[in-house]
Amino acid sequence: MKEKVVLAYSGGLDTTAVIPWLKETFGYDVICCCVNCGQGEELEGLQERAKMSGAAKLYIEDIVDDFCDNYIVPCVQANAVYENKYLLGTAMARPAITKKLVEIARKEGAVAICHGATGKGNDQIRFELGIKALAPDIKIIAPWRMTDLWTMQSREDEIAYCKAHGIDLPFDAKHSYSRDRNLWHISHEGLELEDPACEPNYDDLLVMSVTPEKAPDAPEYVTMTFEKGVPKSINGVEMKVSDIICKLNELGGRHGIGIVDIVENRVVGMKSRGVYETPGGTILYEAHQQLEELVLDRATAEVKKEMANKLSQVIYEGKWYTPLREAIQAFVESTQEYVTGEVKFKLYKGNIIKAGTTSPYSLYSESLASFTTGDMYDHHDADGFITLFGLPLKVRALKMQEAKTQSESK
């Protein structure tokens, strides 16, 4: 009986070519596993394609709700943003996908898991760290790094290889953007984006959105509610998180929200330029932050910001299945106990504009914040506070003056 390998399968050209290569190179039975994180129409026709390519079996596993509830929500609650711009769309999905690949490998008794990530990207790290953490006994096969065995270097090479193995598929050598899509976002790399001096060709590039210039001339008001940091409804209609994200994608895409052009620092050391569309995610992050402004005290908010930066780095580097991620997430969850309330905003030509926020746990006191003197705040108390708060500055200035006087007198 042949040994089995589980292939992280997308149905694209790379993973199509990998199927006969795995059979030919290692003699494995290839079990394809396509993990649905909300790719939409990309899943069409995969059964026929996998069978035609020589796969012994294909699993199509729907983890959309798991992805939203257990990977996206913790990042929203933390406000985890990599390098101030990237909302971790691909980085969040990889540990969810990896967990399912390991589950299928165990079910099938597979000896190896294969992925099609290149040797230059972040995904190879994310997949492999996840596999090492969840299934340290399972072998990992990364064809693009096995240059002695994997000799294909281009799309043309892969197409020729497939044709030589009797696989006639609807792929051509036409170059296009390299994209990764799930429910949360879509990323774009390649073509003019490889030169940071070039403006993105948004007319050809955008999939989920329009540019702000093409957005409606009238704003659209949206109301959301949260309970303990978890989104619960849009415009009075309660929904599960995945449906909320879908609705926000529709709203945000229509108004040109969440289009980001970034040159980011990959884990492997190089800089890469890409454009991300995250319309719903951008709205969700902003709405959650607006509510937190009301309910978190200053000291907690300051530490939470530090933890958010650390969490974004941990996730970006593929370290989801680590004690550190669990500890940071536990801290974040403790801060969400009172992040409950309603957020209203309007969407207008790429902007999310506040229109009112309320919470039963709001720490905002109108009587304290107003210019009117109240019982809780005596303006005279500020004298002593400023004296003590500024004492280190005053002492330093006096000492500097003293040193300068002594130096000049010599």
Residue 123 catalytic? Answer: yes
Single out the residue in 99, 133, 164 at which a domain terminates.
Answer: 164
124, 188: one domain: no
Q: Is 126 annotated as a binding residue?
A: yes
- Per-residue pLDDT, 45: 86
The answer to whether the CB of 299 falls within 8 A of the CB of 189 is no
User: Which residue in 49, 53, 94, 273 is the catalytic one?
Assistant: 94
DSSP β-ladder status, 29-36 and 57-62: parallel
Residue 316 lies in a domain: no
253, 226: one domain: yes
Look up residue 89 and give its amino acid.
Answer: G
Single out the residue in 164, 189, 211 at which a domain terminates.
Answer: 164
CA atoms of 99 and 134, how far apart (whole Å):
7
290, 204: one domain: yes
Residue 265 lies in a domain: yes
Q: Is 10 annotated as a binding residue?
A: yes
Please report, for the domain that includes residue 27, its CATH number: 3.40.50.620
- Per-residue pLDDT, 41: 82
Q: Is 16 annotated as a binding residue?
A: yes
71, 22: one domain: yes
CA dihedral 233, 238, 241, 242 (to 10 degrees): -120
Q: Is 96 annotated as a binding residue?
A: no
Please report, for the domain that includes residue 241, its CATH number: 3.90.1260.10
Q: Is 187 annotated as a binding residue?
A: yes
β-bridge partners, 178: 189
Inter-axis angle of helices 123-134 and 89-108, to 10 degrees?
40
144, 31: one domain: yes
User: Which residue in 157, 178, 243, 325 is the catalytic one?
Assistant: 178
Look up residue 203 and give its amino acid.
Answer: D
Q: Is 116 annotated as a binding residue?
A: yes
User: Which residue in 49, 53, 123, 209 is the catalytic one?
Assistant: 123
37, 156: one domain: yes
The number of domains in the chain is: 2
138, 24: one domain: yes
Q: Is 54 annotated as a binding residue?
A: no
β-bridge partners, 237: 234
User: Which residue in 14, 49, 180, 359 is the catalytic one?
Assistant: 14
Residue 14 catalytic? Answer: yes
66, 38: one domain: yes
Residue 12 lies in a domain: yes
198, 346: one domain: yes
95, 24: one domain: yes
Residue 347 lies in a domain: yes
213, 275: one domain: yes
- Per-residue pLDDT, 327: 98
Residue 314 lies in a domain: no
Residue 254 catalytic? Answer: no
- Closest C-alpha among 16, 57, 17, 8 to residue 37: 8
Q: Which residue segment(s) compose the domain that 349 sits in? A: 178-295+340-358
14, 148: one domain: yes
Residue 59 lies in a domain: yes
Residue 370 catalytic? Answer: no
Query: Which pLDDT tens digit goes with each residue over 275-312?
Result: 999 999 999 999 999 999 999 999 999 999 999 999 99
Residue 399 lies in a domain: no
CA atoms of 143 and 150, how far apart (whole Å):
6
Q: Which residue positions in the chain have pLDDT lower than 50?
A: none
Backbone angles phi, psi at 210, to 5 degrees: -115, 160
